[in-house]
Amino acid sequence: MQQHSHAGHAGGVRLAHHFDDLKQQHESAQLGMWAFLLTEVMFFGGLFLAYLIYRNLYPEAFLLASNQLNVTLGGINTAVLIFSSLTMALAIRSAQTGQGRIPQIAWLVLTVMFGVAFLVIKYFEYKAKWDHGMLPGPGFMAAGGHPAELFGEHVAGARIFFSIYFAMTGLHAFHMIVGIGIMAWMMISSWKGYFTPSNYDGLEMSGLYWHFVDLVWIFLFPMLYLLGAHVHTGAH
Amino acid sequence: MSAATTDTQKPSYLMDGTTLKSWLLTVDHKRIGILYLIAITVFFAVGGLFAVGIRAELFTPKGDVFDSDTYNKVFTLHGVVMIFFFLIPSIPATLGNFLLPIMIGTRDVAFPKINLLSWYIYMIGGSLGVLLIFMGGLDTGWTLYPPFSSTYSNTNVALAAAAVFISGFSSILTGLNFMVTVHKMRAPGMTWFRLPLFVWGLYSTALIMLLGTPVVAVTVLAMFLERVFHIGIFDPATGGDPVLFQHMFWFYSHPAVYIMILPGMGVISEVIACFSRKRVFGYPFVAMSSLGIAIIGFLVWGHHMYTSGQSAYVNIVFSILTYIVAVPSAIKVFNWTATMYKGSVSMDTPMVYAMCFMGLFLIGGLTGLFCANLGLDIHIHDTYFIVAHFHYVMVGSAMFAYLAGLHFWFPKMFGKMYPEGPAKLSAIVIFVGFNLTFFPQFILGYMGMPRRYHYYPEEWQVLNVLSSGGAMTLSAGLLLGGANITWALIAGKKAPANPWMAKGLEWEISSPPITANFEKIPVVTEEAYAYPSQIPSPAHH
Amino acid sequence: MGNQIPMFPENASTIAGQVDLVYLYLNLVCAVFAIGVVIAIVYFAIRYRRNPTHTAIQQVEGSHLLEIAWSVIPLILMMTMFGWGAWLYVHAVTPPKGAMDIYVVGKQWMWKVQHPTGQREINDLHVPVSTPVRLTITSEDVIHSYYIPSFRMKRDAVPGRYSQAWFEATKPGTYHIFCAEFCGTKHSQMIGKVHVLSAQDYANWLAGNLSGDTAEEAGRKLFEANRCNTCHHEQSGARGPNLAGVFGSQVQLKDGSTVLANEEFIRESILRPQAKIVAGFEPVMPTYEGQLSEEQVLQLVAYIKTLKGPAKEAK
């Protein structure tokens, strides 16, 4: 009695022991997930603030540094994430309309595949920066180094741009990895038949999380990639 | 309605499963509250030991006990342990976890498994903190200001950042749980304005935990990246701005102090109402003032940075807002006082602590007005005046409120009573010791003694000796109080369901409660603190 | 008043007494409220103590009038506290014109002070009485804070920027200087003494402590050694703006905005020249970041301040 949440199985749906009814359980889950996403906004918000302040302090440097990012790959990633949100929504829809676990799992698998594609593209982007010596460590400002050649006077501001770039996209990628883990968990739950039209809370809350991570990227892409996209320096 | 006070067939939550596994895998909010209680008591002892170290060193003007680097680590770890591992969780995670569902008439918090998870996260963060102590400690001050912490310190700043980061998530999840619980799980008839004021306090605190903690999380994450990967975001040598860290840090750390005090204020409302046998005067105002403090408290962080070089205009805005945030606290103090008017006042141990709170919070809160003042703060910033101020509110108020709550709900939580005599005596000794420790520090601060000083000018030794003597007295009082409670846990007399004849749903169930809290979910029909106009004679309750 | 009561530091500057007055005012108002509430609590606890024979209680719910009263009255009182403090603060951070400039650089764990006439000090500070002194403060490493309790003055020394503070000492004597922002091992030993001297004594001290160039002279030498004059000169076609009279003027930038050419601007132009480009010039100035110490930058600033222009007025 003490150990596990004694799930009621009224009519085949799962109700935790401490809730009065499904409605209370569902509303609690929703409020909880929205509140959690609000905390994530505050979490990323700190880095958005840093970006705002330093962009204001070093406008030239930010333009030049942003120009170094690959807009094509970033754009592909944006499309990838948008499609992944579509497949996520379709997974939820298939649970909503009682289509059973195969369509649910199929849409979830597609979502994961998009997520993995995003991470793979990110890996290649990061690797390119590593190869060009553009990681914002202590060697970034070294005289004669690649960044010093590219940015000249603006190397300090460029370093800060890259610090923020890696911190924000790194944090975002971490959230993507967690999201893929959650999708895997949802696939297992779906296989066990947990999601029915009267209770598909797990899928819905996972979907909210996934959409949020997508939304963060929708902000990051223009802020980081498109900022310097128009600058013509030749170097890429 | 009143539940039967005789034992039911069901075991109490303490007896419902007696294996270690049943405790470590519990999802019962009451057991989780007890797990937190044990952990924070241990951390309080650790932080207290560091405090004794500080005051021992400051008996003399030169460094006789520690060398400077060690002393710097001692006061840093005192702050880190006391703030992150004791004060922030204290009332919410122990008393809040135990009482919140019961007070609103439900079986558990909204997310019991996340509640257990948050305890484990806290333990992991705390363990990293303990590891930090043994791996060379930290010497940056709990405030971790760069460039010292990012570039110059030789201690394990990254480990400290990790410990704080992780334990922050415990706070976020607790806040999330409490917020959803209050919104969605109140018993039938328990409207918002029938909630006990402790619940209002916990709810307001939950909002701050939710919205503020993530900001310090990302701040220490940035500090971690700075230490480990040298990304240079706060380092002026590479174009970074060290004052940006201060803004991000204090954006959380100021609301954090309201996390520490708001639950305590809620406790005081409960205790004063019970031991005056009266409804809290101006209930809606006291309730709303908790929300007001939570909200306005997010707007004042810059008052920690008056001398940092930020513009005079910014300073003026923060100063006005800081004075405004003081108003809801004043409202509470007046309402608590008015609650005692024409009541029936009984000086049981919880009330003794509550009375001590009133005096100490008056001093602590009012000295906040001194700190808020631009003309004054240029002089007293970073001196012992500030140290005295925040100890009066964090220890004199928050810790005293915690002790008041512990002594108030002890019989409910454990089904036993503690001996009254030693309990009151320890309260007095703690009160005297506390004042002796910290009041001289106001004087030292105005005289110009900076904080975090290992050596100090000889002319200030007398006041420092007074303060250190007070610290030893305070420790003795705390040890006495702790011993009394421990004795009561082992051999205390059995407690009835409602030893204080108090109003509130928690007093209508058995002491200690059964796992499910209520035999049947109550239907609430009366207002909070619906004390009758006649005191029932004790034999009939 | 300050000397007799061991609760105040020396009253040794023009604002010290005013700060103490604000302190007394706050003490008075807060004491009245605190004592008033304590008396009420004690009185209620005794007058209404639990009495087995008297079991009736009067439930008084609340009073809107009281709530308004004890919200509005404290708010008004607090606004007076804010107002007086803010007024004093604005005065305390606004140096008067013609104040004597002294440059302070904090580093672990000492204070380096440079007088405009060339004298240098470590940890100590000699100043003449009844003379406004303006401090330009920075740090070479971590954040420190320059604190003189007897003047009720404190300002953080932040690396990477200048902070300004000022005082006017009123009483000859010797007073504490402390570092007031934790900065590492010897934070509490980063202390010194400020010596307030009569005009005659100060002149004597100056004469006896001449140690080489004035700040301006050292700055002039740096200006030449670093070939600044190859771009910054008054002939036509110069690659850099003419610096004669620039200090204190409003400078028009390439992006259309104007900026005041104060110490911070001069420093930024030396260390981060690309940050603000003057209208009519190209961004070709190299940075001197890493080639000049903070003290050397201060000396250059001191020198550039002396460059007077033909028609421009220093603001």
The CATH number linked to B517 is 1.20.210.10
DSSP state string for B56-108? HHTTSSS-SSS-HHHHHHHHHHHHHIIIIIIITTHHIIIIIHHHHHHHHT-SS
CB contact at 8 A, B85 and B25: no
Cα(A26)–Cα(A6) distance, integer angstroms: 17
Tokens at residue A135, please?
């990681």
In a domain, B434, yes or no: yes
How confident is the model at residue C210, as a pLDDT? 67
Choosing among C274, C282, C289, which should be mutated to test the A contact, i.e. which has the most A CBs within 10 A? C274
Residues C136 and C80 grouped into a single domain: no
CB–CB contact B447 C48 (8 Å): no
Q: What is the mean pLDDT of residues B232-260?
A: 92
Q: Does B439 touch chain C (CB under 8 A)?
A: no
Q: Does A122 touch chain C (CB under 8 A)?
A: no
Choosing among C27, C33, C50, C272, which should be mutated to test the B contact, i.e. which has the most B CBs within 10 A? C50
pLDDT digits (tens, 9 = 90+) for B485-517: 999 999 999 999 999 999 999 999 998 999 999
Choosing among C38, C60, C148, which should be mutated to test the B contact, i.e. which has the most B CBs within 10 A? C60
Cα(B299)–Cα(C78) distance, integer angstroms: 17
How confident is the model at residue B8, as a pLDDT? 55
Which ranges in B311-348 belong to alpha helices (H)?
A: 312-340
Residue with tokens 């930010």: A62
Domain of residue B193: give its range: 22-527
Q: Does B331 touch chain C (CB under 8 A)?
A: yes
Q: What is the mean pLDDT of residues C277-296?
A: 86
Counting beta carbons within 10 angstroms of the beta carbon of residue B100, is it exposed (0 to 12), middle (13 to 18) or buried (19 or more)?
buried
CB contact at 8 A, A116 and A228: no
User: Quick one: angle between helices B349-372 and B242-276, nearest 10?
Assistant: 150
How far apart are the CA of A159 and the nearest CA of chain C, in angstroms? 15
Which positions ≥6 away from C46 have C-beta within 8 Å? none
Tokens at residue A4, please?
């596990």
In a domain, C171, yes or no: yes
Residues C123 and C197 grouped into a single domain: yes
In a domain, B342, yes or no: yes
Helix (H) or strand (E) holding B416: strand B416-417
Looking at the partner chain, which of A27, A42, A156 has a beta carbon nearest the beta carbon of B214?
Answer: A42
Which ranges in B145-278 belong to alpha helices (H)?
A: 157-184, 197-229, 242-276
Cα(C272)–Cα(C175) distance, integer angstroms: 38
A vs B: CB pairs below 8 A? 124
Which positions ≥6 away from C4 have C-beta within 8 Å? none
Please report, for residues B116, B362, C234, the alpha-carbon distance to residue A158 in angstroms, rounded to integers and kept in the order given.
Answer: 44, 51, 34
C245: left (phi over 0), alpha (psi -120 to 50) or beta: left
| Chains linked to B by 3 or more Cβ pairs within 8 Å | A, C
Model confidence at C238, pLDDT cuts 50, 70, 90, reads: confident
Q: With a cut of 90, say whether residue B532 has pLDDT above it.
A: no
Residue with tokens 């005046």: B385
In a domain, C17, yes or no: yes
Tokens at residue C281, please?
């010039």
pLDDT digits (tens, 9 = 90+) for B312-354: 999 999 999 999 999 999 999 999 999 999 999 999 999 999 9
Residue with tokens 């122990």: B94
Tokens at residue C103, please?
């440059």
In a domain, C57, yes or no: no
CB–CB contact B231 A1 (8 Å): no
Model confidence at C1, pLDDT cuts 50, 70, 90, reads: very low
Q: What is the mean pLDDT of residues C123-130?
A: 95
Residues of A in contact with B183 (CB under 8 A): 31
In a domain, B227, yes or no: yes
CB–CB contact B333 C37 (8 Å): yes
Residues C105 and C201 grouped into a single domain: yes
Tokens at residue B309, please?
């070089």
Q: So what's the ipTM on this one?
A: 0.92
Average pLDDT, chain B: 94
Q: Looking at this protein, which amino acid is placed at residue B81?
A: V
How confident is the model at residue A13, as a pLDDT? 63
Q: Where are the beta strands (DSSP E) in chain C?
A: 100-107, 110-114, 120-122, 125-128, 132-139, 144-148, 153-157, 163-168, 173-179, 192-197, 250-252, 258-260
Model confidence at C127, pLDDT cuts 50, 70, 90, reads: very high
CB–CB contact B382 C147 (8 Å): yes
The CATH fold of domain A48-228: Four Helix Bundle (Hemerythrin (Met), subunit A) (1.20.120)
DSSP state string for chain A? --SS---B-GGG--B-TT-SSHHHHHHHHHHHHHHHHHHHHHHHHHHHHHHHHHHHH-HHHHHHHHHTS-HHHHHHHHHHHHHHHHHHHHHHHHHHTT--HHHHHHHHHHHHHHHHHHHHHHHHHHHHHHHTT-S-SGGGG-TTSHHHHHHGGGHHHHHHHHHHHHHHHHHHHHHHHHHHHHHHHHHHHHHTT--BTTB-HHHHHHHHHHHHHHHHHHHHIIIIIGGGTT---S--
Tokens at residue C149, please?
């309790």
| pTM metric for this prediction | 0.91
CA-wise closest residue to B201 among B219, B187, B182, B186: B182
CB atoms within 10 A of CB B228: 13
**CA-based nearest residue in chain C for residue B329:** C71
Tokens at residue A59, please?
């406008």
Cα(C93)–Cα(B383) distance, integer angstroms: 20
CB contact at 8 A, A195 and A94: no
CATH number of the domain within which C198 lies: 2.60.40.420
CA-wise closest residue to B265 among B287, B282, B250: B287
Q: What is the mean pLDDT of residues A185-205?
A: 92
Model confidence at C255, pLDDT cuts 50, 70, 90, reads: confident
Choosing among C18, C84, C181, C267, which should be mutated to test the B contact, i.e. which has the most B CBs within 10 A? C181
In a domain, C311, yes or no: no
How far apart are the CA of C159 and the nearest CA of chain A, in angstroms? 16
How confident is the model at residue B347, as a pLDDT? 96
In a domain, B283, yes or no: yes
How far apart are the CA of A155 and the nearest CA of chain C, in angstroms? 11
pLDDT digits (tens, 9 = 90+) for A14-47: 888 899 899 999 999 999 999 999 999 999 999 9
pLDDT digits (tens, 9 = 90+) for B79-131: 999 999 999 999 999 999 999 999 999 999 999 999 999 999 999 999 999 99
3-class state of residue C158 by DSSP: coil
Which positions ≥6 away from A226 have C-beta within 8 Å? A66, A71
In a domain, C52, yes or no: no
* Structural domain count, chain B: 1
Q: HSE-up of B489 (CA within 13 Å, CB side)? A: 12
pLDDT digits (tens, 9 = 90+) for B418-469: 999 999 999 999 999 999 999 999 999 999 999 999 999 999 999 999 999 9
**Residue B405 CA to its chain's centroid (Å):** 11
In a domain, C155, yes or no: yes
Tokens at residue B253, please?
């750390």
Q: Does B446 touch chain C (CB under 8 A)?
A: yes
**Residue A52 CA to its chain's centroid (Å):** 20
Choosing among A153, A154, A155, A159, which should be mutated to test the C contact, i.e. which has the most C CBs within 10 A? A153
CATH number of the domain within which C270 lies: 1.10.760.10
pLDDT digits (tens, 9 = 90+) for B204-213: 999 999 999 9
Q: With a cut of 90, say whether residue B281 has pLDDT above it.
A: yes
| Chains linked to A by 3 or more Cβ pairs within 8 Å | B, C
How confident is the model at residue B5, as a pLDDT? 43
3-class state of residue C180 by DSSP: coil
Q: Does B61 touch chain C (CB under 8 A)?
A: no
CB contact at 8 A, B329 and B365: yes
The domain segmentation of chain A, as residue ranges, is 48-228
**CA-based nearest residue in chain C for residue A152:** C286
Largest Cα span, chain B = 75
* Structural domain count, chain C: 3
Q: What is the mean pLDDT of residues A153-178?
A: 93
Q: What is the mean pLDDT of residues B226-247?
A: 88
Model confidence at C25, pLDDT cuts 50, 70, 90, reads: very high
Cα(B432)–Cα(B426) distance, integer angstroms: 10
Residues of A in contact with C287 (CB under 8 A): 153
Cα(A72)–Cα(C310) distance, integer angstroms: 56
The least confident of B229-238, B306-315, C174-183, C217-226 is: B229-238
Q: What is the mean pLDDT of residues C166-193?
A: 96
Residues of C in contact with A154 (CB under 8 A): 274
Residues C84 and C164 grouped into a single domain: no
3-class state of residue C132 by DSSP: strand
Cα(A24)–Cα(A46) distance, integer angstroms: 34
Q: Does A60 touch chain C (CB under 8 A)?
A: yes
Model confidence at A4, pLDDT cuts 50, 70, 90, reads: very low
Residue with tokens 């000049």: C292
How far apart are the CA of B211 and the nearest CA of chain A, in angstroms? 6
Domain of residue C245: give its range: 215-306
How confident is the model at residue B476, as a pLDDT? 97
Model confidence at A11, pLDDT cuts 50, 70, 90, reads: very low
**CA-based nearest residue in chain B for residue C59:** B278
Residues of B in contact with C55 (CB under 8 A): 344, 534-535, 537
